[in-house]
Amino acid sequence: MRHALEFYIDGEWVAPVRPATLDVIDPSTEQPFATISMGSAADVDKAVAAAKAAFQTFSMTTKEERLDLLRSILDVFRRRVDEFGEVISREMGAPLAFSKEEQAGVGIAHLSQTIKALEAFDFTYMQGSTLIAHEPVGVVAMITPWNWPINQITCKVGPAIATGCTMVLKPSEIAPLDALLFAEVMHEAGVPRGVFNLVNGDGPSVGQVLAGHPDVDMVSFTGSTRAGVIVAQTAAPTVKRVHQELGGKSPNIVLRSADLVAAVSHGVVRCFENSGQSCNAPTRMLVPAERMDDAIAAAAATAAKFKVGAPADPETDLGPVVSEVQFDKIQALIQAGIDEGAELVAGGPGRPADLNRGYYVRPTVFARVTNDMRIAREEIFGPVLSILGYETVDEAVEIANDTVYGLASYIQGDLEEARALSKRLRTGVVRINRSAWDGAAPFGGYKQSGNGREYGKFGIHEFLEIKGVVGWDGV
């Protein structure tokens, strides 16, 4: 990639203030395939200054001007969507077909939904004699993850553009190349100088500097709960807005009214998607205790169908996980499941037998898990499913809510029963049966899964301040 050693600041590709580099590792080979520059506080200062200067004019643009800009961004993104799929597959290991259709395709979906939401959005309205105005929050620091990289970039950048904010993006240094490609899209689309800026780097050297920067008005962060706490603590002295989408340990309640075999099979597939590296993955499956044996058989049969292999292989269902650190964490938690007495019914420690390199994990299912085990409480972020039994629906709800997280939950069974149950689950998202993804639905969590919401009009609201102009009509 031609700009891998540069940052995008004030509408130009620039070298870092202090030269420093990092290799980008292909998780399927464990070998470097690209090198990026790593930023410092000096680079952050340049980028924030550019965004602050640009805000003076960009915040005054009209809704129609910003719609035109978003449509231009979407047009360029569409033309280059296959490039995004190829880059993301290489840097984080997603199977190529999945990466093109889902990982890259979701960028089109988010930009399209933002345009649709902005078209219908009213930035001002009258409340009696007072004008209520929604105005851009200011300069936004965006810190995005490696697992769904362009998903999180577009669902932050889109609404920031829609509202008239300016921004500095720090993508994950583990999977940074798609963000550099996105900067090329922004440049080609004619985004004004300073509105969008990108600085690569790690959390301490760039992410925390952005979070604490006095000229940054808001931080939008997606990542682990541990890192989210650090971001919030760093941002606190400047009392800036902090929006976070963090970890999850999502329950999937299979009701007695469900077709158990179909529900379990679907739950396994959803858990393993993206090699289990999704914050909203349904990793705790709750089944009626008397049907545990049937659930085990269905889950084991489904897990056995997954082919783990090279991302470029069209037969591959699951690619590698993203890094050695992630691989080692998953392996340790699989071993913890065994040591704590869970029943291993599929997969287990180590790589698949036919793979001797790459961060490949065996699709793993544990059964007869109790909610005090580490595999039921910690976010594993790999293709590992825990099946827990329940006696009553009340017990299922108690187990489901017995977690520090509250991002998503899943219910499978009779529609009316599922609707009633959804009110009792302490999560920001509830998905009933095999519902399709909705890019306009609010996405975000309760408890330690974060605060604020993304997607569609809900994402737009996050980037706005509210002003009341009393006496607007002269009364």
Sign, Cα dihedral of 192, 157, 222, 174: negative
pLDDT above 80 for 341: yes
In order, the DSSP letters of 457-468 are HHHHHHTEEEEE
Computed over its alpha carbons, how large is the radius of gyration of the chain? 23
Residue 17 φ/ψ, nearest 5 degrees:
-65, -45
- Please enumerate in sequence order all residues whose Cβ is within 8 A of that of 134, keeping only pairs 6 or more positions apart, or say none: 123, 124, 163, 461, 464, 465, 466, 467
Average pLDDT over residues 107-131: 98
- Give the integer Cα–Cα distance in Å for 205 and 171: 13
- Give the integer Cα–Cα distance in Å for 435 and 412: 10
Average pLDDT over residues 33-48: 98
Question: Is 279 designated active site?
Answer: yes
Q: Domains in the chain, ordered, with CATH?
A: 7-246+450-469 (3.40.605.10), 251-438 (3.40.309.10)
Which of 155, 165, 271, 279 is catalytic? The answer is 279
What pLDDT sits at residue 453? 98
pLDDT above 90 for 53: yes
> Shortest CA distance to 96 belongs to which of 313, 355, 272?
313
pLDDT above 90 for 2: no
What pLDDT sits at residue 95? 98
What pLDDT sits at residue 80? 98
In order, the DSSP letters of 284-323 are EEEEEGGGHHHHHHHHHHHHHTPPB--TT-TT-SB---S-
Q: Is residue 338 helix, strand or coil?
A: helix
The percent of residues in the chain predicted with pLDDT above 70, rounded, is: 100
> Shortest CA distance to 320 belongs to which of 183, 146, 164?
146
pLDDT above 90 for 475: no
The confidence band for 230, taking pLDDT boundaries of 50, 70 and 90, is very high
What pLDDT sits at residue 449? 98
- Give the integer Cα–Cα distance in Å for 244 and 29: 33
Question: Is 245 designated active site?
Answer: yes
- Give the integer Cα–Cα distance in Å for 413 and 419: 10
Exposed, middle or buried: residue 417 (CB in 10 Å: 0-12, 13-18, 19+)?
middle
What count of residues does the chain have? 475
- Give the integer Cα–Cα distance in Å for 306 and 269: 9
Q: Are strands 139-143 and 218-222 parallel, antiparallel or unpaired?
A: parallel
Average pLDDT over residues 131-137: 98
Helix axes 105-119, 149-163, angle to 10 degrees: 20
Q: Which amino acid is at 294?
A: D
Hey, what are 383's tokens? 């293709």
Report pLDDT digits (tens) over 239-257.
999 999 999 999 999 999 9
Which of 102, 173, 245, 462 is catalytic? The answer is 245
Average pLDDT over residues 111-138: 98
Report pLDDT digits (tens) over 409-449.
999 999 999 999 999 999 999 999 999 999 999 999 999 99
What pLDDT sits at residue 259? 98
Q: Are 9 and 336 in contact (CB under 8 A)?
A: no
